[in-house]
Each structure stands twice: as C-alpha cells, then as structure tokens.
Amino acid sequence: MKNHFYQLADHAISLAAKDEVCLLGFGGETSDFCRFNNGLVRQGGTVNECGISLTLIKDNRQATCAMNLANGESDKKSISDSFDVLRNRLHHLPEDPHLLYSAEVHSTDEIHRAKLIEAAPAMDQVLSSGKGLQMVGIYASGTVARGFANSLGQRNWFERPSFNLDWSLYHSSDKAIKLSYAGYDWDNAAFMAKMDEAKNGLAVLARPAKTVQPGKYRAYLTPTALSDVLSWVCYGAGLKSWKTKTTPLMRMLDGQEKMHESVCLSEDVGNGAGPRFQEQGFIKPSKVTFVENGKLKDALVSPRSAREFRVPHNGASPNEVPESLDMAAGTLEKKDVLSKLGTGVYISNTWYLNFSDPAACKLTGMTRYASWWVEDGEIVAPLNVMRFDESIYRMLGSNLLGLTKERDFILDPSTYMGRSTSSTRLPGVLVEDFTFTL
C-alpha cells in the first residue's frame, strides 16, 4: 500500500503547475472479517481496499475529490482525469478565507507491529468458549493504513495492525450480555476472563427482572456506558463551539460550573489507534488536555478554526472532536466496585442518548442489555429498562464518588467506509444520586 500510494503521489505532483499546491490523503486496510450467530460463522472473508483524496489549491481556492483505487496502472489515469475536473471546478469557486495547510515539510514513517492471530484460530477460540450459547457478533483483524503527501515534498505514513471483537450473549427478549475485546496483541487469557464474567451474568439474567421506581440511586457506569455519555460531551471540546457559544460545556467556559477535581480528559493521540498527521499535513501533539482537574483547559483547534479565530491550532480533526479520548484513572479498585456501590444500579450499556438541556450539559438516555440491581454489594437481579436524566456537572462533578483504577481500551467497531481508528481509554465511574425518571 505504501509504495503504491507514494507512486501515485509522485504522479499527481508531476501534474501540478508551479502555482498549484496538491494534497493527497490515503486510507486503506487488509482485514479479516467474521460474522457469527448462534455459535456458527455465517459470513467470513478478507477485505483489501484503499482509496485516496486529492485536493488542488490555487489562488486561495481549493477543490477536492476522492476515489477508490484498483492497485494498478489505471489508478494513474484516474488521477489524471481528476486533475482536469478539479482545475475546471476551481474557476467557479470563491476564495476560501479559512484555508490553511502545512507549508513546512514534516515527514514521518510510523509502522507498528502486533501479535495478531489468524481469523480461523481466533474463531475457534471464540466459538468453542461460547458453545451451546446464543452468541452473535463480529470479529475484525488486520492492518489499517493512513498516508499523506503534498507537492511541497512532505510524506507521511501510518500503519497499525489491530483486532476488534464485538459480541453478545443473548438470554431472551432484550436481556443480553454485550462485550467487546480490542487491542493489538491477542491474549486468550484476557478474552476468557471476559467470557467467564459474561457467562456468570447470563445466570443472573435467568432470574426475574426487577423494576424500580423513578428516583435517585447510587449508580455505577462501566467504561462502555461512560464512553456513550462522553461521546456527547466531547462535541463541546472544540474551539469553534467555544467561540460560537454552542458548546454544551458553556457553563464551564463561563466559570459557573466545574467537574470533580479528579476528572481529566484528553485527546491522547500518542497512545491512540490513529495517525499523528491529519489531512492538511499538520502533525498533532501527542496529547491535548481539554479538561484538567475538573476545569476546562485547552480547546481542540482545527486548522480552519485557527485561521478563522487567528490562534495556533493543535491539529484537531475538522469537527474538533477527540479521536483518541483518554480519561485519567482513579483509585477505586474494580474488585471493590460492588461493595462501594452497596445498593443501587449497575449500568453496563446505554442507548438513545441525547441532550435534554444542552445549555446545562444535561443528558437523557436509557439503560440497555445487562444492567443490574445490586443490594448490599451483590448483584441480585437484572434491571428492566430505565430512563435517566442527569447533568454532567453532577455525574462527573458534585456527585462523583470515584473512578476505577483499571481502564478499558475501546476501539470503535465501525466499519462503514473502512475500519475506524477512533478509540477511547476510560475508567468506570461511581455516582451518587443518579436520577432515573422512568
């Protein structure tokens, strides 16, 4: 993939005139996929795909197109044809006042290694561990690559193998245990630990479900549930939302609210699953902290926002949302979660999240899959679906009791238009007076 991309980049750059700047982006993968249901593989195969984006810039105007690659000589003709289209398009476009691309050459070559196993033995392990159970899911494993090149001489390459197993064990109706296991080095012991925990959960799901009255309860949110919550909060991490006062964190920006002093949220590209370069050729810092000790610190700033608001950028994505979200760990041992929860609700997963009051950073959502009712530190029954409505400033602020010492690495299982490189690394959270409304 790398050699072919660089050859195409050389070809594209040879077509650019002296008063034109050419930017190229690359995305590709070689991945094994397996979909399984009822303990059997229903679909399996290998995907080899790649594509490029081509941007032509002249007189502060830019035009962009994207194409899939055939990995042959025909790709050069596709690029040549695209150049003609982009040149014609540029004449009809206005100047872009917020256009900013890297004019300094900063080339990188980052190729990671990993201990992956082939799809067949991986599925043997997965399916044998779930024999006799209603198990459904998807397994993806292989190398994801990203690249960048421009007519100024910059070349960047990123390549990282990873695996992602996303699966569920069903009991009946909406009662199921949903799990994920992702990373770079497959560890069968770690996988089996997750599977054994899930099997224990199935035994609890067989008990009569419990319905509790609306009210305030002590609650524990797993890292998976917390990831759902923070995905909404992170829409407010960007400079654009700060300047236009559309951030749900506006009350923190104004100094009216804050989170607990133990809360630290960062875009941690250095330990994430994606590249450090972005589509305009800028190199991202290893880490940008936007909440530190419960207070807002640095916004994520894309090149376009930097030009618009005349501030330095930090290589953020165009939508200024973290792609490698990291939340600092706490001191609560995972083995002590149930005892510290005492009597309350254990939330494994959520769904249907949305803002109920964006200005107050208040979210509503529902519990999903295996959420438990806990009494005196013991799981006693599965919980029927409940709706919550809670402010982040309470959940991660005044009512926060603790963050777990252990954190989960969650790799986005999305495969639409290719495997995602977005990830989160989060602890679980113990919260007091968590509000359930239905």
**Residue 6 is part of a domain; what is its CATH number?**
3.30.2290.10
User: Quick one: pLDDT at residue 172?
Assistant: 81
Domain co-membership, 396 together with 432: yes
- Whether residue 50 is found in the same domain as residue 190: yes
Same domain, 150 and 9: yes
Strands 344-347 and 215-221, bridge-based pairing: parallel
- pLDDT for 29 equals 96
Tell me how many domains the chain contains: 2
Domain extent, residue 68, equals 2-205
Residue 235 backbone dihedrals phi, psi, to 5 degrees:
-65, -15
Encode pLDDT of 206-240 as tens digits: 999 999 999 999 999 999 999 999 999 999 999 99
Give the burial class of 199: count Cβ atoms within 10 A of its Cβ; 0-12 exposed, 13-18 middle, 19 or more buried: middle
Question: Who's near 181: CB < 8 A, 6+ residues apart?
Answer: 164, 165, 190, 191, 194
| Boundary of a domain, candidates 182, 205, 228 | 205
86 and 199 assigned to the same domain: yes
Q: Are residues 130 and 85 in the same domain?
A: yes
Q: What pTM did the predictor assign?
A: 0.93
Q: Does residue 409 share a domain with residue 369?
A: yes
pLDDT at 129: 92
Alpha-helix residue ranges (DSSP H) falling in 353-396: 392-393
Using the structure block, give the residue that is written with the tokens 């800028």.
Answer: 282
End-of-domain residue from the set 184, 205, 226 = 205
Q: What are the C-alpha distances in Å from 204 to residues 188, 209, 232, 308, 337?
A: 25, 9, 31, 55, 18
Q: What local confidence, expressed as pLDDT, does residue 400 receive? A: 98
Instruction: Using 70 as the pLDDT threshold, list the residues of the chain that sit under it.
Output: none
At which of 205, 234, 263 does a domain end?
A: 205
CB 302 within 8 A of CB 323: no
- Give the pLDDT score at 331: 97
Q: Are residues 91 and 228 in the same domain?
A: no
**Assigned domain for 41 exists:** yes
pLDDT in tens, 283-335: 999 999 999 999 999 999 999 999 999 999 999 999 999 999 999 999 999 99
Nearest CA among 110, 108, 109, 102 for reference residue 151: 102
Q: Which residues, 6 or more positions from 278, have their beta carbon under 8 angstroms from its beta carbon?
A: 148, 284, 303, 315, 316, 317
At residue 438, the pLDDT reads 87
How far are the Cα atoms of 121, 151, 301, 382, 435 from residue 375, in angstroms, in the given order? Answer: 41, 64, 46, 12, 18
Q: Torsions phi, psi of 21, nearest 5? A: -115, 135
Per-position DSSP letters for 292-328, written without gaps between them: ETTEE---B--HHHHHHHTS------TT---SEEEE-
252 & 156 share domain:
no
